[in-house]
């Protein structure tokens, strides 16, 4: 077996202080001459044990601040019996990492870690076989502990010396014996993240900091209106700025300069004339547009019993309409990319969540063979789905190809807010009936949602440059959790997918489910109130799954839930009204169990909502890293409070108008409530992801709390002070 | 080209800038290769670019280089290293007060200014002190815990 491990040192591994591993490679080297195995069927594609005893994990999935890399280190260390400190992770490099999927949909743990675990379990068997030969003992009598293969008679040998710079050369065995979770010593522990010290001391290797010799800074001048064509450019308008080159390809207008500030100023000051374009419906009254726009297809998601019959014979009937607006990923860093386009091969450094997907799309659109393009992931800011990262990569590539030098592009704030593909608006109409005993006898959910063709999303730069590409509008799994988690004998659930969307769509954290649960769990609360029942008791009455019952009981216990119907008869407290609300979700109808309670104070005069406290009981099966999990759950909660209280993408007929943090505000520190999370660990159960689930019940719990406090039901997000006051005025 | 003399992290620097209006952020990142401060908005709205100028937290993305002559700038690099972090950096690490970490520079620099002014703040005071710093990941409660931990040291 050849000494392929040296292929890594050829690229020069720089060990960073934070324990992160950065692989540099010779400029212009294409991916085709990389000798690192990439086939996900091979153990060596995922795991390399080095001569110094360190271990590298290779994965196409990326850690966008979720702690995923730490969970992978723990998973592999546990199966291999090698100390977790020796592990580093290389993420999302199409020349080095196997393609086992992109990052998203909270799949990094349930699918990604499962792949790593199987590879590590197979590697353990291979190492035991090597140890058996070395120690002249049967493999069945050997174990791996602390990085050594050990026999009970005291014989031992290090795994590093067994591998000795060679590959293991074995296929991933789907039935390789896995360690019993009851024996775990690393999985389940709050192992610290390797990237945090570097991020706190300016030593972390960020994408935004990546520089190459001869690199230019680029900026793109986006049109003043969606669909506007570039008519003319006055290059004299920026003649005073040093070393700026203007790149125009049809309606694509970019500038590059050695000096970043010169590029920034050039993009801002260049005089260009654009055609008039007024193709958007405008965001004012968009809910009406969503309800009336042409529908491409209806999807029947559930249909049992006789909904119409049951509703007409119900003792009580309720209808309600809920609306969720377009929202932005609103990443703290505007999207960034570095591209180096050469004859010998093109390399893109990007923070995109799916490096292989990005490579495939760029290769197709730019007509570059796959083996002549390498995409390397570097950490950007949190992305929460597909933000502008793919588009920024295309911008950088267009500019690098045009000037024949490496180009770094970082969008400006208005580019990210204005042009990142958005999470779609959703409109829900619900109808329900209660029988004489207050049981739900009939339930109907209808959802209307902007949509479009399947396929890859069109990239902004290539679109302006007139390049041929697909125009997909995938936004993720938007239709899950549209049906109630409670037993309903007569149920109808339908989604209406519009032909078109005013703004480009993409997956935004927990796609669709936050709005769906907002509608479904608000409506369940409305039914509970109509039945005169306590909201938690109303929910518990319908739930039989013990894991569902446990999260609801834990969450209500954490907030000393008083059993009574809403609204709160004792809501008045000084000049505010206080109340509490609960929401429950079985995420994606098959994964995490989450119950989330909120206490709120509402100022009737100002309309201001103060969230005082959030409690969350969270069951995602096996917990890999409780601290990382807690961090994700807290983040889900606070980010979704932000989305619920403040966030709405606004646009006129021409363009997005919410293009900074004043017009698209986020939750601020003074608004941050106390957050208390209870993790329910079930080592015997499969581990679901946790990057999304606890965001799903937040908006409903808040709406329910506001109703409890005030008797007023908010059904349109965001819950701005103006909207609260308007709701009071109507009530 | 005009030159500007000031101090960065304790040492004197002289930098050229063709434009007196060039924000300090670009000078730090591109001329001095100090990458702690981050570009977030260029509008002074998010705080990712925060540095200390004469001990006060300022937004380097909207601070023209011409205003820096004779001043003393401290960046995240100037507080400590992974091996020898400052008390505040150590508290952020201990609390794992980061998700993506892009806002972390601004959080630590702004909190540093808060603690200089108010060494033993209440949580409410820290919240007010960080009111102009945005975190998109929702790491707020950990950031607050980290600042309160550092205040106890």
How far does B104 lie from chain A, in Å, by closest CA? 6
Q: What is the pLDDT of residue A657?
A: 98
Contact in structure between A687 and A110 (CB atoms under 8 Å): yes
* CATH topology (fold) of A208-276+329-419: Aldehyde Oxidoreductase; domain 4 (3.30.365)
Does residue A410 sit at the B interface (CB-CB below 8 Å)? Answer: yes
State pLDDT tens for residues A407-458: 999 999 999 999 999 999 999 999 999 999 999 999 999 999 999 999 999 9
Cβ pair B96:A262 closer than 8 A: no
Specify the pLDDT at position A325.
98
Query: Hey, are the CB atoms on B126 and A637 less than 8 Å from each other?
Result: no
For residue range A447-492, what is the model confidence (pLDDT) as tens digits? 999 999 999 999 999 999 999 999 999 999 999 999 999 999 999 9
pLDDT: which is higher, A28 or A301:
A301
Closest chain B residue to the Cα of A333, Cα to Cα: B40
Tell me if chain B has a CB within 8 Å of the CB of A333: yes
Contact A711, A705 (CB under 8 A): no
pLDDT at residue A35 in the model: 82
Q: Residue A129: is it exposed, middle or buried by C-beta count within 10 angstroms (0-12/13-18/19+)?
A: middle
Q: Which of A114, A151, A105 is nearest to A40 (CA)?
A: A114
Check A202 against B127: CB less than 8 A apart.
no
* Chain A environment of B98 (Cβ under 8 Å): 65, 193, 195-196, 199-200
Task: Check CB contact of B138 with chain A, cutoff 8 Å.
Answer: yes
Residue A254 has pLDDT above 70, yes or no: yes
From the CA atom positions of chain A, what is the Rg in Å? 27
Fold of A6-191: Aldehyde Oxidoreductase; domain 4 (3.30.365)
Which residues lie across from B4 on neighbouring strands? B15
Contact state of B99 with A413 under an 8 Å Cβ cutoff = no
Tell if the CB–CB gap between B136 and A662 is shorter than 8 Å: no
Q: Encode pLDDT of A101-131 as tens digits.
A: 999 988 999 999 999 999 999 999 999 999 9
**Distance between CA atoms of residues A178 and A189, nearest Å:** 18
User: A596 forms bridges with which residues in the sheet?
Assistant: A583, A616
Chain B environment of A666 (Cβ under 8 Å): 134-136
> Min CA distance, A254 vs chain B (Å)?
19
Angle at A710 between CA A709 and CA A714, to 5 degrees: 105
- The H or E element that residue A597 is part of is strand A593-603
Sequence-ordered list of residues with C-beta below 8 angstroms from that of A240, at least 6 positions apart, any chain: none
Query: Under an 8 A CB cutoff, do B140 and A667 touch?
Result: yes
A276 alpha-carbon distance from chain centroid? 35
- B31 C-beta neighbours (distance < 10 Å), count: 17
Domains of chain A, by residue range, sit at 6-191, 208-276+329-419, 286-326+423-730
A496 contact partners, CB below 8 Å, separation of at least 6: A295, A298, A299, A446, A447, A448, A449
The DSSP output letter for A594 is: E
Secondary structure (H, E, C), A224-260: CCCCCCEEEEEHHHHCCCCCCEEEEECCEEEEEECCH
For residues A611-632, one letter each, b for 16 or more C-beta atoms within 10 angstroms of the residue's C-beta and e for the rest, the string is bebbbbbbbbbbbbbebbbbbb
- The pLDDT confidence band at residue A26, using thresholds 50, 70 and 90, is very low
Provide the Cα torsion A101, A104, A110, A111; round to 10°: -10
Average pLDDT over residues A47-67: 97
Under a CB-based contact definition with an 8 Å cutoff, are residues A461 and A394 in contact? yes
Q: What is the pLDDT of residue A19?
A: 33
Q: Which of A277, A53, A42, A75 is nearest to A149 (CA)?
A: A53
Q: Please name which of A381, A653, A675, A207 lies closest in space to residue B101, comparing C-alpha atoms.
A: A381
Chain B nearest-CA distance from A215, in A, is 12
pLDDT digits (tens, 9 = 90+) for B80-102: 999 999 999 999 999 999 999 99
Angstrom CA distances, A510 to A106, A275, A696, stand at: 8, 37, 7
Place of tokens 């290797």: A205
Give me the residues of A, 432-451, that contact B with CB < 8 A: none
> Does the pLDDT at position A678 exceed 50?
yes
Instruction: Please give the Cα distance from B112 to B57 (Å, whole number).
Output: 8
CB of B42 less than 8 A from some CB of A: yes
User: What is the mean pLDDT of the segment spanning B34-47?
Assistant: 98
Nearest to A382 among B26, B133, B136 (CB): B136
CA nearest neighbour of B144 among B125, B136, B3, A74: B125
Q: Which residues contact B44 (CB under 8 A, 6 or more apart)?
A: B59, B61, B62
d(CA B19, CA A181) in angstroms, rounded, equals 62
Q: Is residue A63 within 8 angstroms of chain B, CB to CB?
A: no
Residue A731 pLDDT:
84
Provide the pLDDT for residue A719.
98
Question: Residue A396: phi, psi to the nearest 5?
Answer: -65, -40
Q: Which of residues 506-545 of A touch B (CB under 8 A)?
A: none
Question: Is the CB of B35 inside 8 Å of chain A's CB atoms?
Answer: yes
Contact criterion met (CB < 8 Å) for A197 and B85? yes
Chain B nearest-CA distance from A673, in A, is: 8
What is the per-residue burial (b if ≥16 Cβ within 10 Å, else e) of A184-206?
bebbbbebbbbbbbbbbbbbbbb
Q: Distance between CA atoms of A498 and A525, rounded to whole angstroms?
A: 29
Instruction: Give the bridge partners for B16, in sequence order.
Output: B3
Asked if A59 and A46 touch (Cβ cutoff 8 Å), the reply is yes
Q: Are A208-276+329-419 and A286-326+423-730 the same fold in CATH? A: yes
Q: What is the predicted pLDDT for the residue at B104?
A: 98
> Which among A261, A382, A628 has CB closest to B102?
A382
Q: Quote the CA–CA distance of A243 and A221 in Å, as a whole number.
A: 17
Name the segment(s) of chain B with CATH classification 3.10.20.30: 3-78
| Residue among A202, A636, A672 minimizing CB distance to B105 | A202
Quick one: DSSP state of residue B23?
B
Note whether B112 contacts A: Cβ–Cβ < 8 A.
no
- Which residues, 6 or more positions from A546, have their beta carbon under 8 angstroms from its beta carbon? none
Contact list in B for residue A265 (CB cut-off 8 A) is 19
pLDDT at res. A25 = 38
Interchain CB distance below 8 Å, A259 and B30: yes
Confidence of residue A614 (pLDDT cuts 50, 70, 90): very high
**Mean pLDDT for the stretch of residues A137-157:** 97
- Cβ contact A381–B102 (<8 Å): yes
Scanning A209-228 for CB atoms below 8 A from B yields 209
The CATH code that applies to domain B79-152 is 1.10.150.120
Question: Across chain A, what does the average pLDDT equal?
Answer: 94
A65/B99 touch (CB, cutoff 8 Å), yes or no: yes
The rounded distance, in Å, linking the Cα atoms of A157 and A166 is 16
**pLDDT, tens digit (0-9, with 9 covering 90-100), for B105-133:** 999 999 999 999 999 999 999 999 999 99
Q: Give the strands of the sheet with A156-158, arranged side by side.
A: A142-145, A148-151, A156-158
> What tokens were used for B6?
């000031």
Q: Residue A27: name the closest of A507, A432, A494, A406 by CA.
A: A406
With contact defined as beta carbons under 8 Å apart, do A405 and A396 qualify?
Answer: no
Q: Which helix (H) or strand (E) holds A365?
A: helix A355-366
Whole-model pTM?
0.95
Q: Which fold has domain A286-326+423-730?
A: Aldehyde Oxidoreductase; domain 4 (3.30.365)
CB contact under 8 A, B46 and A262: no
φ/ψ of A301, rounded to 5, equals: -100, -25
In tens, the pLDDT along A615-642 reads 999 999 999 999 999 999 999 999 999 9
**Nearest chain A Cα distance for residue B6, angstroms:** 20
CB contact under 8 Å between B102 and A265, yes or no, is no
Record: contact A192-B96, CB cut-off 8 A? yes
The reply to whether residue B138 touches residue A642, judged by beta carbons under 8 angstroms, is: yes
Q: Which of A356, A347, A360 has the alpha carbon at shortest distance from A397?
A: A347
Q: Residue A73: pLDDT band by 50, 70, 90 thresholds?
A: very high
Compute the half-sphere exposure of residue A81: CA atoms within 13 Å on the CB side of its CA: 24
For chain B, count helices (H), then strands (E).
6, 5
Residue A14 vs residue B73, higher pLDDT: B73
Question: Which helix (H) or strand (E) is A10 found in, with range?
Answer: helix A6-11
Distance CA A400, CA B128 (A): 44
Distance CA A417, CA A296 (A): 28
**Is A570 within 8 Å of chain B by CB?**
no
The secondary structure of A636-667, three-state, reads HHHHHHHHHHCCCCCECCCCECCCCCCCCCCC
Nearest-neighbour CA in chain B from A381: distance (Å): 5
Residue A604 φ/ψ region, left for φ over 0, alpha for ψ in the -120 to 50 degree band, beta for the rest: alpha
Q: What would the two tokens of residue A47 be?
A: 């795991």
Residue window 236-295, chain A: list those with CB within 8 Å of chain B: 242, 259-262, 264-265
- Residue A30's pLDDT is 38
Average pLDDT, stretch A231-239?
A: 98
CATH of B3-78, one of 1.10.275.10, 3.40.50.1980, 3.40.190.80, 3.10.20.30: 3.10.20.30
- 3-class DSSP state of A359: helix
Is A672 in the B-facing interface, judged by CB distances under 8 Å?
yes
Q: d(Cα B153, Cα B91) in Å, to the nearest integer?
A: 9
Q: Are A431 and A318 in contact (CB under 8 A)?
A: yes
User: Which two tokens mark A677?
Assistant: 């999370």
């Amino acid at each position: 077996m050849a000494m392929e491990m040296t292929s890594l040192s050829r690229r020069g591994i720089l060990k960073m202080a934070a324990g992160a591993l950065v692989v540099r490679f010779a400029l212009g080297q294409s991916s085709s001459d990389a000798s690192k195995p990439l086939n996900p069927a091979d153990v060596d594609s995922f795991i390399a044990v080095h001569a110094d005893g360190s271990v590298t994990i290779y994965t196409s999935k990326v850690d966008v601040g979720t702690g995923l890399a730490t969970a992978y280190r723990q998973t592999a260390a546990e199966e291999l019996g090698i100390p977790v400190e020796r592990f580093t992770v290389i993420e999302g490099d199409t020349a080095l990492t196997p393609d086992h999927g992109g990052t998203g949909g909270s799949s990094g743990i349930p699918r990604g870690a499962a792949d790593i675990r199987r590879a590590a379990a197979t590697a353990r068997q291979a190492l035991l076989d090597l140890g058996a030969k070395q120690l002249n003992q049967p493999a069945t009598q050997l174990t791996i502990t602390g990085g050594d293969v050990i026999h009970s008679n005291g014989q031992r040998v290090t795994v590093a010396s067994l591998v000795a710079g060679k590959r293991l050369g074995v296929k991933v065995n789907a039935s390789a014996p896995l360690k019993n979770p009851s024996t775990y010593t690393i999985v389940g522990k709050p192992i610290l993240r390797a990237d945090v010290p570097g991020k706190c001391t300016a030593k972390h290797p960020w994408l935004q900091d990546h520089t190459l010799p001869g690199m230019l800074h680029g900026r793109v001048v986006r049109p003043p209106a969606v669909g506007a064509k570039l008519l003319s450019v006055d290059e004299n308008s920026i003649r005073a700025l040093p070393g700026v080159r203007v790149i125009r390809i049809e309606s694509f207008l970019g500038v590059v300069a050695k000096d970043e500030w010169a590029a920034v100023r050039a993009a801002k000051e260049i005089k260009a004339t654009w055609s008039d374009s007024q193709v958007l419906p405008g965001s004012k009254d968009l809910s009406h547009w969503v309800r009336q726009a042409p529908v491409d297809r209806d999807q029947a998601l559930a249909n049992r019993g006789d909904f119409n019959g049951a509703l007409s014979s119900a003792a009580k009937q309720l209808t309600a309409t809920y609306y969720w607006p377009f929202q932005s990923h609103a990443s703290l860093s505007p999207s960034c990319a570095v591209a180096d386009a050469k004859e010998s091969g093109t390399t893109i450094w990007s923070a995109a969540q799916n490096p292989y997907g990005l490579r495939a799309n760029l290769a197709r659109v730019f007509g570059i063979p796959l083996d002549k393009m390498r995409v390397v992931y570097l950490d950007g800011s949190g992305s929460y789905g597909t933000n502008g990262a793919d588009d920024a990569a295309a911008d950088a590539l267009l500019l690098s190809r045009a000037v024949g030098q490496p180009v770094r592009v970082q969008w400006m704030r208005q580019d990210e807010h204005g042009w990142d593909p958005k999470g779609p608006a959703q409109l829900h109409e619900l109808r329900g009936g209660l029988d004489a005993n207050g049981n739900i006898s009939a339930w109907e959910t209808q959802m209307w949602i902007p949509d479009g063709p399947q396929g890859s999303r069109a990239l902004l730069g290539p679109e302006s440059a007139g390049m041929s590409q697909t125009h997909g509008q995938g936004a993720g799994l938007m239709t899950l959790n549209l049906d109630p988690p409670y037993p309903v004998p007569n149920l109808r659930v339908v989604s209406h997918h519009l032909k078109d969307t005013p703004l480009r769509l993409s997956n935004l954290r927990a796609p669709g489910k936050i709005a769906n649960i907002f509608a479904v769990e608000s409506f369940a609360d409305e039914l509970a109130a109509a039945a005169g029942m306590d909201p938690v008791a109303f929910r518990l009455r319908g739930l039989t799954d013990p894991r569902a019952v446990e999260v609801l009981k834990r969450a209500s216990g954490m907030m000393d839930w008083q059993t009574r119907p809403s609204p709160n008869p004792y809501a008045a407290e000084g000049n505010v009204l206080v109340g509490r609300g609960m929401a429950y979700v079985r995420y994606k109808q098959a994964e995490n169990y989450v119950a989330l309670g909120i206490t709120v104070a509402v100022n009737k005069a100002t309309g201001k909502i103060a969230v005082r406290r959030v409690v969350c009981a969270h069951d995602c099966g096996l917990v890999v890293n409780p601290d990382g999990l807690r961090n994700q759950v807290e983040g889900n909660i606070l980010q979704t409070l932000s989305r619920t209280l403040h966030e709405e993408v606004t646009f006129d007929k021409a363009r997005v108008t919410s293009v900074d943090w004043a017009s698209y505000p986020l939750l601020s520190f003074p608004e941050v409530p106390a957050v208390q999370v209870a993790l329910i660990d079930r080592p015997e159960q499969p581990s679901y992801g946790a990057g999304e689930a606890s965001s799903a019940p937040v908006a409903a719990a808040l709406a329910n709390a506001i109703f409890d406090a005030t008797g007023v039901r908010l059904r349109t997000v965001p819950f701005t002070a103006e909207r609260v006051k308007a709701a009071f005025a109507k009530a | 080209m005009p030159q500007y003399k000031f101090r960065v992290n304790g040492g004197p620097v002289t930098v050229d800038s063709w434009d007196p209006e060039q924000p300090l952020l670009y000078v730090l990142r591109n001329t001095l290769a100090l990458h702690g401060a981050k570009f977030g908005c260029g509008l002074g709205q998010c705080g990712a670019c925060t540095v200390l100028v004469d001990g006060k937290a300022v937004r380097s993305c909207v601070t023209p280089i011409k205003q820096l002559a004779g001043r003393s700038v401290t960046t995240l690099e100037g507080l400590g290293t992974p091996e020898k972090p400052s008390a505040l950096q150590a508290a952020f690490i201990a609390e794992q007060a980061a998700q993506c970490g892009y806002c972390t520079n601004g959080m630590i620099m702004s909190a540093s200014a808060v603690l200089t002014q108010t060494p033993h703040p209440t949580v409410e005071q820290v919240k007010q002190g960080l009111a102009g710093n945005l975190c998109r990941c929702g790491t707020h409660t950990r950031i607050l815990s980290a600042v309160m931990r550092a205040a106890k040291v």
